[in-house]
């Protein structure tokens, strides 16, 4: 008969631990006495029990087996370390048992693995006993004096221990042999702005691997205390992680149990790994999914504790191609540096068979509440153009001149006020922009390559049609806006004019509007009547083409494709100007997520300009192509 999860009790069937002693403490789990301190005995006990479980013919598909293997290794590591063991004993109230003999205490557990009898060295003569007694007395006296002296120094120098609510965690971090220097760090409980909101992607119960999970008062709650069959809860987040990113969780622990912990499943390239963060014990670690892997993450555990307050913590995971850093409220706590290609490709032990080892997931031992989960992909050499921020306003629609030395954008001071067009310049491509100035009233500007013509919306309150302003030289001011006759009957937005000023594509304001195209023979000629472009749909889903941009050769059209389910940046191509666009794909800009808008690429300079939300928007620049 094949055993199933519902009729198999591994603690009792394999380890002989009765129901009234479950869940077992670490000593019961290993089958050793409470005062056993021989490291060889502890390690042999753990090894024998793991081998027993691995050899059981009917445990291949049971997740309980993997869970016990994991607990056995943790028991070995905790009991082998004096500091961790002392803390565990204090919390589990096991010191009382250690002070009682086996004959007096019915809960005393006899070790199932006994060490070899100690060897007696020397002759037990009366002179030897006297000499030994004097030595012991001297050791006791000097130890007492040292203890008293250290106690005086401790009382003079150490601050009063803070309560759980006031405590600041300055514990060391995990690294490849080197702790993180925390000097100058100060706690912060603010999430980074923007990013990809992952919380709405979690669907219950579809993404639940192990109950219990629920949405309550806009919080995602994982509560293993409500689960009688397992001591953990597990949910998958259906999102494929990039190679470089920052992931943030706004979470709090509401469980005071000793084994309370949060495990966050992460990934880098093709390798899955996780952060195991203890809430009520000073031991946490980063781990790959093969515990025997040489030079892996799993071997290095540090005395680090998380969730030292009942208020929400901000957990930040900074992942690159060479390192992982875990922060709590801005303070680094765990770090690993190494070669990800050398780590195991195995899946996490609690994930179902066939699951992607790079799965993003959350596992809770105890009860945890998640208020926000946000992903910030790595944006290469991207930086905010803070030097262009206005005192008040929402910066939008960046447009870089053909020579890359002048940037135009527009600002909406308030929703009620008229928009303004601004510009700034720089002496060379490696310099910051300066000479910021307001040009005129209006929005959505596009400028010809010689910067002598600007097509834009001068005022939404007066007209929604595009106008044109001109000037004789770039040192002069633009003229007053003049309506473009061919565009008078259309409501367009975010125009994009070619450098020679002879072709323009425009965004339609209708719900599923396609881009429109207009041309002229020369700058002295009138514009043609705009024509709707024939473009494909993304996955046969209607959408609006926002901020379209046409390449100078007219063969590549890019835009933000906006649908009811979200936005993505797309690219469509054609082989010559006489044919329609047909091939469609996501562009590299899509990896930035939906926090960015108005992307404008200058291929010649190799720069990407865009606006980062949430509102008010800020101007950002990055090297192009994205790294």
Least confident span in 132-136, 180-184, 492-496: 180-184
CATH architecture of 196-377: Sandwich (2.60)
Higher pLDDT, 606 or 166: 606
Mean pLDDT in residue range 338-364: 88
In this chain, the answer to whether the domains covering 10-98 and 383-623 adopt an identical fold is no
- 200 closest CA partner among 223, 220, 221: 220
Higher-pLDDT residue of 34, 393: 34
Phi/psi of residue 112, each to 5°?
A: -90, -5
Q: List, edge to edge, every strand of the sheet that includes 544-550.
A: 544-550, 556-563, 566-573, 583-586
pLDDT digits (tens, 9 = 90+) for 253-307: 988 777 899 999 999 767 899 999 999 888 899 988 875 656 667 756 788 899 9
Which helix (H) or strand (E) segment holds residue 49: the answer is helix 39-55
User: Distance between CA atoms of 356 and 209, rounded to whole angstroms?
Assistant: 13
Q: Which of 147-151, 418-422, 622-626 has the highest mean pLDDT?
A: 418-422
Q: Which two tokens stand for residue 185?
A: 């760090």
Instruction: Give pLDDT tens digits for 397-410.
Output: 999 999 999 999 99
**Ranges 3-12, 248-257, 265-274, 467-476: which has the least confidence:** 3-12
> CA–CA separation, 558 vs 94, rounded Å?
66
Q: What confidence tens digit (pLDDT) does each residue in 501-540 have?
A: 999 999 999 989 999 999 999 999 999 999 999 999 998 8
169-192: pLDDT as tens digits: 333 333 333 344 343 345 667 888
Residues 10-98: name the CATH superfamily: DnaJ domain (1.10.287.110)
Q: Write down the domain spans for the chain.
A: 10-98, 196-377, 383-623
Element (H, E) at 141: helix 126-157
The proportion of the chain whose per-residue pLDDT surpasses 70, expressed as a percent, equals 76
* C-alpha to C-alpha distance for 81 and 98, rounded to whole angstroms: 17
Domain 383-623: give its CATH code. Answer: 2.120.10.30
pLDDT at 194 over 60: yes
Residue 136 has a pLDDT of 58
Q: What pLDDT shows up at residue 532?
A: 96
Return the axis-axis angle of helices 82-92 and 63-80, rounded to nearest 10°: 110
Cα dist from 592 to 298, 335, 400, 595, 622, whole Å: 31, 25, 20, 7, 11
pLDDT of 435 higher than 50? yes
Interstrand relation of 467-470 and 271-278 (parallel, antiparallel or unpaired): unpaired
pLDDT confidence tier of residue 622, bands split at 50, 70 and 90:
confident
Q: How far is CA 141 from CA 127, 131, 154, 155, 455, in A?
A: 22, 16, 20, 21, 92
Report pTM: 0.46
CA distance linking residue 301 with residue 275, whole number of Å: 11
Question: Of 363, 453, 389, 495, which Cα lies nearest the Cα of 63?
Answer: 363
- Residue of 585, 591, 584 whose CA lies nearest to 610: 591
């Amino acid at each position: 008969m094949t055993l199933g999860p519902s009729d198999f009790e591994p603690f009792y069937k394999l380890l002989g631990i009765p129901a009234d002693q479950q869940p077992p403490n670490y000593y019961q789990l290993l089958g050793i006495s409470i005062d056993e301190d021989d490291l060889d005995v502890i390690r042999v006990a753990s090894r024998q029990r793991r081998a027993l479980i691995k050899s059981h013919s009917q445990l291949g598909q049971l997740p309980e087996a993997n869970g016990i293997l994991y607990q056995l290794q943790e028991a070995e590591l905790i009991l082998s370390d004096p500091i961790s063991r002392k803390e565990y004993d204090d919390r589990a109230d096991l010191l009382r048992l250690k002070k009682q003999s086996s004959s007096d205490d019915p809960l005393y557990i006899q070790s199932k693995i006994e060490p070899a009898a100690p060897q007696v060295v020397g002759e037990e003569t009366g002179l030897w006993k006297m000499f030994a007694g004097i030595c012991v007395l001297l050791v006791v006296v000097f130890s007492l004096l040292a203890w008293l002296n250290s106690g005086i120094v401790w009382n003079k120098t150490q601050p009063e221990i803070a309560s759980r609510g006031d405590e600041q965690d300055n514990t060391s971090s995990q690294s490849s042999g080197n702790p993180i220097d925390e000097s100058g760090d100060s706690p912060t409980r603010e999430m980074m702005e923007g990013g990809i909101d992952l919380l709405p992607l979690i669907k219950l119960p579809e993404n639940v691997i192990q109950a219990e999970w629920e949405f309550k008062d806009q919080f995602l709650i994982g509560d293993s205390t409500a689960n009688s069959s397992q001591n953990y809860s597990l949910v998958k987040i259906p999102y494929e992680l990039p190679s470089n990113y920052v992931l943030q969780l706004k979470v709090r622990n509401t469980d005071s149990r000793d084994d309370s912990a949060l495990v966050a499943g992460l990934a880098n390239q093709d390798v899955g790994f996780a952060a195991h963060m203890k809430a009520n014990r000073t031991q946490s670690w980063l781990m790959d999914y093969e515990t025997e892997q040489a030079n892996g993450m799993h071997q290095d555990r540090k005395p680090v504790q998380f969730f030292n307050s009942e208020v929400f913590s901000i957990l930040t995971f900074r992942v690159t191609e060479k390192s992982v850093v875990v922060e709590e409220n801005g303070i680094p706590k765990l770090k690993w540096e190494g070669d990800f290609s050398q780590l195991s490709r195995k899946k996490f032990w609690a994930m179902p068979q066939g699951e992607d080892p790079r799965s993003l997931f959350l596992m809770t031992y105890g009860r945890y509440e998640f208020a926000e989960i946000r992903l910030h992909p790595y944006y290469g050499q991207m930086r905010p153009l803070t030097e262009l921020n206005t005192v008040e306003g929402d910066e939008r629609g960046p447009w870089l001149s053909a020579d890359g030395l002048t940037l135009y954008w527009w600002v909406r001071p308030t929703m009620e006020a008229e928009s303004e067009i601004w510009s700034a310049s720089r002496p060379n491509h490696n310099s910051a922009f300066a000479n910021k100035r307001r040009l005129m009233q209006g929005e959505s500007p596009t400028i010809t390559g010689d910067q002598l013509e600007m097509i834009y919306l001068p005022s939404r309150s007066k007209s929604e049609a595009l106008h044109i302003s001109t000037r004789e030289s770039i040192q002069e001011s633009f003229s007053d806006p003049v309506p473009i006759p061919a565009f008078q009957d259309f409501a367009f937005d975010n125009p994009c004019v070619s450098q020679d000023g002879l072709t323009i594509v425009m965004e339609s304001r209708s719900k599923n509007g396609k881009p429109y195209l207009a041309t002229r023979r020369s700058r002295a000629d009138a514009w043609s009547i705009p024509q709707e472009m024939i473009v494909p749909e993304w996955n046969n889903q209607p959408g609006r083409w926002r901020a379209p941009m046409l390449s100078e050769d007219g063969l590549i059209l890019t835009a933000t494709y906006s649908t009811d389910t979200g936005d993505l940046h797309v690219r469509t191509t054609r082989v010559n100007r006489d044919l329609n666009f047909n091939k469609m794909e996501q562009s590299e800009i899509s990896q930035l997520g939906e926090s960015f808008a108005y992307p404008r690429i200058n291929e010649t300079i190799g720069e990407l300009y865009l606006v980062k939300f949430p509102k008010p928007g800020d101007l950002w620049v990055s090297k192009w192509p994205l790294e």
